[in-house]
Structure 1
Amino acid sequence: MSPLRRLAATRACDPCQRRKVKCDTLEICANCRTSGLACHYTTVPKKRGPKRVQKSSLERPNATPALDNNVLDSLWVNPMPTGNTVVSHPGDLGNMTSPTLVGMEQTSASLSAQAIRDRLLDLMSFVSASLVPFDIVDRCIYLYMQYTFPTAPIVHEPTLREYAATFFSGANTRLFAALTTGEEVAHMRAFALLSGLCASVASVIPNSLLPYRHLIAKPCLDASRGMLKVFEDYDVENPDSSSIVTRIFHTTASQNITGKTRLTYHILGQAALLITNMRLYREDALQSHDPLECQLLRHIYWQIYAADQASLCIRSRPFHLHELLYNEEATICTPGRKPIISQFDTTAAWSDVMFEERMLFSFHLIPRLWSTAAALLLDMRKCKAQVNDAEKSRLSKAYMEFLGIMDNLPYWLQASHVIFSRNDGDGAQFQKTAFWVQRCTIQVSFQCLRLLILQQCLDSELCDIMGLNNQPITFQMTKVGIIQDFVQTLDDIPFVFLLVKGEPTVERIRLVGSMLLEVLDQVEDGHIRVRANHLFTRLLDILSRLDSKSSDVLVEMRELGEKTAESRREEALG
């Protein structure tokens, strides 16, 4: 008789023990055969004898007799020499091993998930004496819908609020226990998504809107990433919209909290790879999902596509989503204005069909702006020294098409429409805030792209595409003029909307600052130099107020540029 059969003859199998049903103790019992469960006998039997002394609640947060206290204690404090995910130290949610759920006892995975959730609630309870964890999460959801959703409509507000009530209100101790791996993962995905959203919001929202942001950003990010590690193997093989959105939140939070560019690009690359594997560029792949999931996946694709096109324009990182990289034709289309299902809480004062239609129309201007510029820049980079008139005419037409996007900016994004009034109610203020976020994103991106196109015209010797001649002073004057428009755009936008855009806005400012340094290094005309110096000072002031780690970088670049220019002048005189 095998050791497994000898053990089976003496006690119930693990699934029957967990469900507290009578087991026939066969190697594969009748209950498991009927329910389609994996019948196994891996749990070590408890030792008989007096129970150990319980630790106090201060030593073991959220202790509960419903869980195996011995397992929870070892899970919480001491690493176990098994394949289970554990938290090796109570203050470090990110220090975790990465197991797979395949062949692993489900209770171990759910206990690991429960420990992560309990620890996060324990840390949140110290944030404010007047706030409970649910209030903090509820505030983060509201701020996301107001300041981030307009340019990232990739969540469903009612679902988020349902998750908040489930995971952050009360001391539930069996939130992740389930009969199947799929059910366990569904609960873990929900928690990873919501805690990731809180981390993303807290990493960019200013102190005036979220005073305790620095206290929750890192713990929420660690909790979300730790939870993802528990079910990561299953998630990669069976992805859904939350698989991508959670990684997008990790990208934003990591970028703003740690400033680690390579880590940020790696996480975003994972999200883009999931998009490719799910074939979200194909209409038939999208239509295979239920209506809400289809809508979310469509918005996710266009958001990451816009980010990828931005990387192609700026050359900041390798891009992943491009027609040339797909194994088949991309058939995804831009949806109409009207959403299939409202993604807002329909009971809110600002929720109405017209508002959501306008917001989604404006959202799709962003990938259109970046993709149009990316196509133009890519064509110019491929041009050789000699370009015939027909090719120049085609490039000029593409440039005019790019400019035309801003000519047709909808009226609800015009400055006169988004100015706040004392008579505005909560609904009107919320809607104007959403349009301000979109206007900020579109205007800053447009001015930055104008500079990139101008520089590419110079590099490719295609000046006449923009109606310019080959004189250096012409380019310098045009470049300073566009930079003036860029800086004025930043000044015209309420500063809070620059803050909530985080590092992408800083990246645009840093890029423009580096171009301005080139002008200061090369220009000989005194009037242009005075204008350039003045604009650089204004850029530095804005960058310093954004409280970014990139501020010092630009200051150092200017000092280095001044030293280089001084040495060149000395060489010329000597």
Structure 2
Amino acid sequence: MPIVYRPKIELGLCLLQPGIERRDIDIHVFTLITSLCAVAAIIIPSTGFLQDPRIAEIFYHASKRSLNLYRAEDLKHPTSTSIAIRYFHSGYRHAAGIRPRLWHDLEDAIRLMQAMRLYDEVSYRNMDYIESQLCRRLFWIIFTADKSAGILNNHPIALGGELFEGVKPAEYSKDLDDQPSFPTQELGGATLSILAGFNFNNDLWRAAYSVLAHIESLRNRFAHHETGDDQASNIPGLEDFSRLTELYITFEASLNSLHPSLGAYHTLSLSPSTFHFGQNTDGEPLPRALAVQRTNLHVSFQCLRLVIINAFASTNGQSRVLGSSALLLQKIGIAKEMLYIVHSSSLETLRLNGESCVEKIRLVGAAILELIDQHPQSPLASTARQYGNLYPYILAHLESKACDSLVEDT
């Protein structure tokens, strides 16, 4: 998530060194870095943080107290730092499984982003260049986080399609050259920036939201026909299906132009000059930053596929078009693809993707268990049982703190 300028991180880490006088500390940078450290400490395996499970909480409370010292000023004159701090606070709460007021910090970030009109390209005209690029990244990651909260956690979506009415949507950011780029074996050895995967993730969620928003629109349009006598009137027409199909194809194709290193089958090259058969599949392991992005993109993609086909099937008349057997086949296929992504990702990479990764895998696992329960006589049930046995095993290894908190509350 390249949403903080790297030199600012380095400056902030210097401020945490022993012997630094308080008068020398930039409070905004201090608040930002402690919020970033809180997220890092709770997600990165404990061996990276002196085996002290309290370190993340200490950083989090230090950041919250520091923010409280200048909150009123910050609300009047917000910057990219203001939004990033609240986004990291939200990320900490999510990873820690803190359920009360879980969305408070994300909602604060959304309000600041709206106040700054970061959804409107015009708002960037008079910004400092680096600040404008960070604000673009923060807008799109907040936009995506809003969709994730709505789609995965049933939280009301705050940033709907009407956000862009009458404005030119904010463009994506350009590379600031402050993050490392990674050499790749494909495409003549060109380097790959982590900004590419970051932008593709936003593309993916935008495409998924467009499909789901259209399905919801159809559902609302035809809801008042449900009790009528004219059965044809409560089924969307050809034009409706054509538009829905177009949006769904756009979603399915949203990752097609991914660099091969970020692809689901990342050892597969589509270039004849670098394609290899099975005996020559050994290659350099992906750099960790790219491996984390690859896992996030494809775990999200499979989870969103499941959400969309469930929504598609629940829309009046569309389950008849798809057919129950086709739906079961799609769910089995999604479960299999999800298992492949998990299988081809390290446990560390999965954990570094945080609680949202666990939620997506859990959602697919729950769908398979539901399939087994509701269709025990289906020929697909035996395959589903094989997959279903793996999901609890995988989830047990992902150390979900939110899952732990749910158990403690019951």
TM-score bucket (shorter structure): 0.7 to 0.9
Query: d(CA) in 1 for partners of 2:257 and 2:180?
Result: 30
Query: d(CA) in 2 for partners of 1:412 and 1:397?
Result: 28
SS in 1 for 2:133: helix
1:310 Cα deviation from its structure 2 partner: 2.3
**Matched residue type, 2:194:** M
1:262 Cα deviation from its structure 2 partner: 4.2
Change over 3 Å in CA distance of 1:519–1:297 after alignment to 2? same
Q: Does 1:261 align with 2:113?
A: no
Map of 2:298 onto structure 1: 443
Map of 1:98 onto structure 2: none
Equivalent position to 1:408, from 257, 260, 269: 257
Max Rg structure: 1
1:514-555 per-residue CA deviation (whole Å, 9 max, x = no partner) reads 322321221032543332222222111111101114556999
Map of 2:169 onto structure 1: 331
Query: d(CA) in 2 for partners of 1:312 and 1:515?
Result: 18
Equivalent position to 1:199, from 38, 57, 72: 38
Map of 1:375 onto structure 2: 210
Map of 2:194 onto structure 1: 359
Identity of aligned residues (%): 27
Q: Does 1:227 align with 2:63?
A: no
Question: Does the 8 Å contact 2:8/2:29 carry over to 1?
Answer: no
SS in 2 for 1:449: helix
Q: Does 1:154 align with 2:6?
A: no
1:254 Cα deviation from its structure 2 partner: 1.6
Change over 3 Å in CA distance of 1:448–1:290 after alignment to 2? same
Higher relative contact order (CA closer than 8 Å, sequence separation 6+):
2
Question: Does the 8 Å contact 1:369/1:402 carry over to 2?
Answer: yes
Change over 3 Å in CA distance of 1:226–1:553 after alignment to 2? closer
Map of 1:476 onto structure 2: 328
Map of 1:237 onto structure 2: 76
Query: d(CA) in 1 for partners of 2:402 and 2:377?
Result: 30
Question: Does the 8 Å contact 1:199/1:218 carry over to 2?
Answer: yes
1:198 Cα deviation from its structure 2 partner: 0.8
Unaligned runs of 5+ in 1: 1-151, 177-186, 557-574
TM-score (norm 1): 0.60
1:301 Cα deviation from its structure 2 partner: 0.8
Query: d(CA) in 2 for partners of 1:164 and 1:485?
Result: 40
Name the Cα RMSD after superposition: 3.0
Question: Does the 8 Å contact 1:193/1:245 carry over to 2?
Answer: yes
1:342-401 per-residue CA deviation (whole Å, 9 max, x = no partner) reads 22389x999xxx64x632122111111111111111111222332111221221122111
Question: Does the 8 Å contact 1:158/1:344 carry over to 2?
Answer: no
Equivalent position to 1:397, from 233, 242, 246: 246
Aligned pairs for 1:517-528 (under 5 A) are: 517-525=369-377, 527-528=379-380
Query: d(CA) in 2 for partners of 1:213 and 1:307?
Result: 29
Unaligned runs of 5+ in 2: 185-189, 223-233, 270-280
**Matched residue type, 1:195:** T
SS in 2 for 1:416: coil
Map of 2:314 onto structure 1: 459
Query: d(CA) in 2 for partners of 1:196 and 1:219?
Result: 10
1:328 Cα deviation from its structure 2 partner: 5.0
Aligned pairs for 1:166-185 (under 5 A) are: 166-175=15-24
Map of 1:502 onto structure 2: 354
1:249 Cα deviation from its structure 2 partner: 1.1
Question: Does the 8 Å contact 1:312/1:374 carry over to 2?
Answer: no
1:245-275 per-residue CA deviation (whole Å, 9 max, x = no partner) reads 1111111112222x12342211111011100
TM-score (norm 2): 0.83
Question: Does the 8 Å contact 2:49/2:55 carry over to 1?
Answer: no
Map of 1:321 onto structure 2: 159
SS in 2 for 1:442: helix
